[in-house]
Structure 1
Amino acid sequence: MTTRDRLIYLPLGGAGEVGMNAYVYGYGPKNNERLILVDIGVTFPDMDGTPGIDLITADISWLEKRRDRLDGIFITHAHEDHVGGLGHLYSRLKAPVYARDFTARIAAKKMMEAGQPVDKIITLGKGEVVELGPFKVSFLPIAHSLPEASSMLIETPAGRLLHTGDFKLDMAPGVGDPFDEDLYRSLGDKGVDVMVSDSTNIFSPHPGRSESSLPQAITDLVKGAPGLVVATTFASNVARVRTLAKAARAAGRTVCLLGRAMQTMVRTATEAKLLHDFPLVVSAEEANEIPRENLMLIVTGSQGERRAASAQLARGSYLGFSLKEGDLFLFSSMTIPGNERDVLRIVNALSEKGVDVADNSQGIYHVSGHANRPDLERMHELVRPNVLIPMHGEHRHLRQHAMLAQKRGMISVIAPNGTMLDLTGPEPKVVEHVDTGRLYIDGSAIYGAMDGVVRERIKMALNGMVLITLVIDEEGQPLGDPWADCSGLARQGRSNRALNEVIEDELAEELERTGRKVLASDDRLTEVIRRRVRNCCVDEIGKKPEVMVVISRLSDA
């Protein structure tokens, strides 16, 4: 019996969430398919659920075990949720990386920062076809909120697939490729079996607006400001940064860019010859010499990131700049769900300084980079796929997009992270569920959710910690009393004595009646100490802290 070849789709990240995109396609005999990966992005942590973590990526363990079958990694565009994991995870996959020029330049910086080989990145022109095993893959230009975003045409012996990537229907995006209806109509004329589509704005009922609709409103706002003007947006949104800079110049102001990520994106877009008319900018040192009413700062931190320029300006000062009453701060961005509290913290801090804050609540200072519901419907009409698989969105987005497709006569199934679909037949079938999760990038370390590091960190944050140090002499007896060091706990409890002293006294009493067998076993002695410390803390302060016990044995020296 021979095993038939099959075409599979497996999202490891990005399906059931916004961010952390990683999609696997495969073709070949069952469990021996040749594979490609589309995007390898990150999402961002929060102090409640992932305290201290730097970045989060999809868990690629399933793909890593099969990397001998991975023919290539394709990056659709240069947003962090699509390319941000490349440098961190490349050593686990070690496959050639394909991208268009601007994206390839950003990807190269990611690889260089992580000490990975930049020469593994291969730059493709739009429409250029690369053949990898059973796949013929090409990047097709599509409009988004940064230059050279691409959809991907994936041709296989089992059919033609269109992976849209992130997109919008913008005919005048300012920087980058406009949406080309003729291109996608001709694609539909030739036949598309499956379209895997962005679903982010499925709940937005009105057609999306163009980047070209913003300049006049922003210019008018800046012209009416009496003091210093500061504007923030996504660093990667080069077209928006250009719009802001040109509005500043139209209002007679000098422009200064603050934030490494924003400066990198503008410099890279210029090197790629995508920015031909970006206004002249000055350095922070030069800007400090310019009168406030003649200056506009364009800064990073639109999502409330604590270390970014926006947050630092809200808290006090940044690179010699500070804000005061009568200044204007513009959020030319949307707030990603989950970041509302961080952004609001900055808004309130600015308000306390008397700074006027403008945002997109009136819908005039920002446009989304994703297709709204009518635009998604237009894409359906142009491409006319037999099957639509929604991606890039929370489960509610995927479900709504699938329902929309079904109403329009298409076959559609929901495939959240870890759901493997067989796309070979007339209808997709769920054939396997793969364990998926998250990898945490914590400084230079990378570990999984099941490693327990984050869980322990949360426990310490919630409950505090007590460190107990105990020395056992050569005779197996305690050498003096144990020491207690308390962190994140009240200094005194119900007895009105120092908490650490109460703990030390209780432990000294406990150890006096502890037998030799327990004293001889680190594990049993540790358990006795932990139990007594927790009981003591409950009595004193009503908390049961995490307890770490360090036992030193002189006989072990």
Structure 2
Amino acid sequence: MSRERLIYLPLGGSGEIGMNAYVYGYGPEDRERLILVDLGVAFSDMDTSPGVDLIFADISWLAENKDRLEAVFITHGHEDHVGAVGHYWERLGVPVYARTFTANLARHKMADRGQPEEMVRTVSAWPEMTEAGPFKVGFLPVSHSIPESAALVIDSPAGRVIHSGDFKLDETPLVGEPFDPELWTDVSKDGVQALICDSTNVFSPHAGRSEASVGPEIEALVSGAPNMVVATTFASNVARVKTLAEAGERAGRSICLMGRAMRRMVEAATTTGVLTSFPKVVSPEEAAMIPRENLMLLVTGSQGERRAASAQLANGKYNGITLKEGDMFLFSSKTIPGNERGVIRIINQFSEMGVDVVDDSTGKYHVSGHANRPDLQRLHEIVNPAMVIPNHGEHRHLREHAKLAGESGRASIVAVNGTMLDLSGKAPRVVQHVETGRTYLDGSVQIGALDGIVRDRIRMALNGKVVVTVILDEDDEPLGEAWCETMGLPELGRSDAPLLDVIEEDLTQFLRRAGAKTLANDDKLENELRRIARNTCREEIGKKPETTVIISRLR
């Protein structure tokens, strides 16, 4: 009989930032009872995943073992932690546990996908514990850039694990609970086997600033603006949204929320009691009638998302409102790595309009929701775990965090997605590698990263497209000439003749001299036509486009 063990397996969120999904298990080898922590999404970009709406972690391994899965626990309401709940619940079919605010958001996710909202169960914060197989799980309050964030206290017969979730050591967060070092000390006093810990800001050398430090700077900026003010931040950062709204209100401005996510987050925070005394807001229709110098818009799209309100305003008009020369646009947010191009595009569009753009380059108008290097060191000291397992970061973040833990004599290891660790001993040990990857939401359909669909889109974007059509009669003789259609290719090539004419002429010459065996065999004929079309394009325009051959036979 195999010994019982405590395992940890990241399926998403380790080796990358986004689409978090972490499995814990306890029991005999390959028969452990499992829980899942977080089920999030990442967002696509035109370079690597054109046309894709969302990116999910590949949970195939977990779905194959769902008879061993007890429950899902969600640490907080950011999209990269809760965004896939509605999309994936049917494949898992277990209860989802979250605190009140996060549960409200998760139920919306379930409802949007036609899944049972009642499977999302609301739990209270520590010291309440939820039993899930061999585990007892408690939600330990911690500050972050969204209300009711929690670390998870995960107890098993192999000891206590603390999963930090996303956190910062903010004792004056304005909205949500402050970090309570005494509470964390008490939770850790009897020993912690492992701390699974956020690594996002491990390279930031200075202790993190409090959310309370941002308000006065924003208020001074808004008060001094002569014309309309527009501000964007993460919609989920309701503390910042409230700070912005109050700054506008004190400056005598009417406040208008724009963007579905912004309205939904404020509504959820108000409904669950997280937000109180939020300034009165006006509708976009009312905003259009208010003098510009008396108006402040709070909009979605701080990361340059093409469909969000910021991008729509940059494109010209949104909800009847247009920005003009002398207006001010504030990015009260940090640009997530990978989103720089979209943000810069919007900044340049506003610049062309004469809009004054204020970003976070000065550090005055935004503070991070993640712990910096000194904060990580402090948490290590408070929790004093036997081992530290870095998560939530790219490989460079994980490796640096592991070094940081090692400096204080704590066992650590880099475990990227698919790396299963045994946490039962004195040091973490790799015991298995599970195949992981990505799943794309493409319109309304989920597709695999290896299905070739996104790869084909990238190839077409890089090389263009040619469609070749030929018709053969009952005797396998060509009826007329080959003809082509092109997409994404120039009209003229090096020979100064229309590219279509050159391709069709080369294909037709081949058909005239092709042997009977080639003309009678679809596969041979298709391969030759494709080869000739691509070679002709290479000679004419220096590219070998994606080529589709259509062969029609009259029988």
> Larger deviation: 307-316 or 77-86?
307-316
**CA shift digits 1:23-58 (9 cap, x unpaired):** 010111111111111011111111111111111111
**3-state DSSP of counterpart to 1:249:** helix
Could you tell me how far apart the structure 2 residues matched to 1:181 and 1:417 are?
Answer: 31
Question: Equivalent residue for 1:40?
Answer: 39
Question: Equivalent residue for 1:130?
Answer: 130
Pairing 1:510-549 to 2, within 5 Å after superposition:
510-549=510-549
Could you tell me how far apart the structure 1 residues matched to 2:404 and 2:184 are?
Answer: 20
Could you tell me how far apart the structure 2 residues matched to 1:515 and 1:123 are?
Answer: 73
- Say if 2:281 is the partner of 1:281: yes
Question: Equivalent residue for 2:83?
Answer: 84
- 1:147 Cα deviation from its structure 2 partner: 0.8
**3-state DSSP of counterpart to 1:317:** coil
- Say if 2:176 is the partner of 1:176: yes
Question: Equivalent residue for 2:245?
Answer: 245
- Say if 2:54 is the partner of 1:55: yes
**3-state DSSP of counterpart to 1:417:** coil
- 1:107 Cα deviation from its structure 2 partner: 0.8
**Residue type matched to 1:102 in 2?**
F
- 1:190 Cα deviation from its structure 2 partner: 2.1
> Larger deviation: 359-368 or 292-301?
359-368
> Residues 543, 249 of structure 1: CA spacing in aligned structure 2 closer, same or farther, 3 A cutoff?
same
**3-state DSSP of counterpart to 1:218:** helix
Question: Equivalent residue for 1:433?
Answer: 433
Could you tell me how far apart the structure 1 residues matched to 2:466 and 2:223 are?
Answer: 58
Could you tell me how far apart the structure 2 residues matched to 1:82 and 1:335 are?
Answer: 18
Question: Equivalent residue for 2:18?
Answer: 19
Could you tell me how far apart the structure 1 residues matched to 2:518 and 2:178 are?
Answer: 74
Question: Equivalent residue for 1:483?
Answer: 483
**CA shift digits 1:240-274 (9 cap, x unpaired):** 11110000001110000000011011111111111
Could you tell me how far apart the structure 2 residues matched to 1:403 and 1:273 are?
Answer: 41
- 1:156 Cα deviation from its structure 2 partner: 0.4
Superposition CA RMSD, Å: 1.1
Question: Equivalent residue for 2:163?
Answer: 163
Question: Equivalent residue for 1:107?
Answer: 106
Question: Equivalent residue for 2:455?
Answer: 455
Could you tell me how far apart the structure 1 residues matched to 2:302 and 2:383 are?
Answer: 35
| Matched residue count | 554
Question: Equivalent residue for 2:231?
Answer: 231
- 1:391 Cα deviation from its structure 2 partner: 0.5
Pairing 1:382-461 to 2, within 5 Å after superposition:
382-461=382-461
Pairing 1:281-430 to 2, within 5 Å after superposition:
281-430=281-430
**3-state DSSP of counterpart to 1:78:** coil
**CA shift digits 1:423-467 (9 cap, x unpaired):** 111111111111111111111111222111111111100000001
Could you tell me how far apart the structure 2 residues matched to 1:544 and 1:130 are?
Answer: 59
Could you tell me how far apart the structure 2 residues matched to 1:496 and 1:411 are?
Answer: 68
**3-state DSSP of counterpart to 1:471:** strand
Could you tell me how far apart the structure 2 residues matched to 1:310 and 1:453 are?
Answer: 30
Question: Equivalent residue for 1:267?
Answer: 267
**3-state DSSP of counterpart to 2:435:** coil
**3-state DSSP of counterpart to 1:450:** coil
Percent same amino acid at aligned positions? Answer: 61
Q: TM-score, normalised by structure 2?
A: 0.98
Question: Equivalent residue for 2:198?
Answer: 198
**CA shift digits 1:303-333 (9 cap, x unpaired):** 0111111112112111111112111110000
**3-state DSSP of counterpart to 1:349:** helix
Could you tell me how far apart the structure 1 residues matched to 2:278 and 2:114 are?
Answer: 32
**3-state DSSP of counterpart to 1:322:** coil
**3-state DSSP of counterpart to 1:425:** coil
- 1:126 Cα deviation from its structure 2 partner: 0.8
Could you tell me how far apart the structure 2 residues matched to 1:406 and 1:447 are?
Answer: 40
Could you tell me how far apart the structure 1 residues matched to 2:523 and 2:130 are?
Answer: 59
**Residue type matched to 2:246 in 1?**
K
> Larger deviation: 359-368 or 112-121?
112-121
Could you tell me how far apart the structure 1 residues matched to 2:479 and 2:282 are?
Answer: 66
Question: Equivalent residue for 1:213?
Answer: 213
Question: Equivalent residue for 1:552?
Answer: 552
- 1:403 Cα deviation from its structure 2 partner: 1.1
Could you tell me how far apart the structure 2 residues matched to 1:301 and 1:65 are?
Answer: 37
> Larger deviation: 342-351 or 289-298?
342-351
- 1:409 Cα deviation from its structure 2 partner: 2.1
Question: Equivalent residue for 1:464?
Answer: 464
- Which segments of 5 or more consecutive residues in structure 1 lack a partner in the other structure? none
**3-state DSSP of counterpart to 2:450:** helix
- 1:400 Cα deviation from its structure 2 partner: 1.2
- 1:475 Cα deviation from its structure 2 partner: 2.7
**3-state DSSP of counterpart to 1:193:** strand
Question: Equivalent residue for 1:506?
Answer: 506
**Residue type matched to 2:64 in 1?**
K
Could you tell me how far apart the structure 2 residues matched to 1:323 and 1:533 are?
Answer: 49
> Larger deviation: 226-235 or 314-323?
314-323
- 1:481 Cα deviation from its structure 2 partner: 2.0
Could you tell me how far apart the structure 1 residues matched to 2:325 and 2:516 are?
Answer: 71
- 1:385 Cα deviation from its structure 2 partner: 0.8
Could you tell me how far apart the structure 2 residues matched to 1:38 and 1:76 are?
Answer: 7
> Larger deviation: 112-121 or 295-304?
112-121
> Residues 520, 119 of structure 1: CA spacing in aligned structure 2 closer, same or farther, 3 A cutoff?
farther
- 1:492 Cα deviation from its structure 2 partner: 1.2
**3-state DSSP of counterpart to 1:466:** strand
Could you tell me how far apart the structure 1 residues matched to 2:538 and 2:117 are?
Answer: 56
Could you tell me how far apart the structure 1 residues matched to 2:200 and 2:538 are?
Answer: 47
Could you tell me how far apart the structure 1 residues matched to 2:266 and 2:277 are?
Answer: 12
**3-state DSSP of counterpart to 1:90:** helix
**3-state DSSP of counterpart to 2:22:** strand
Could you tell me how far apart the structure 2 residues matched to 1:277 and 1:88 are?
Answer: 34
Could you tell me how far apart the structure 2 residues matched to 1:304 and 1:167 are?
Answer: 24
**3-state DSSP of counterpart to 1:104:** helix
Could you tell me how far apart the structure 2 residues matched to 1:210 and 1:171 are?
Answer: 7
**3-state DSSP of counterpart to 2:495:** coil
**3-state DSSP of counterpart to 2:480:** coil
- 1:520 Cα deviation from its structure 2 partner: 2.5
**3-state DSSP of counterpart to 1:318:** coil
- 1:530 Cα deviation from its structure 2 partner: 0.3
**Residue type matched to 2:7 in 1?**
I
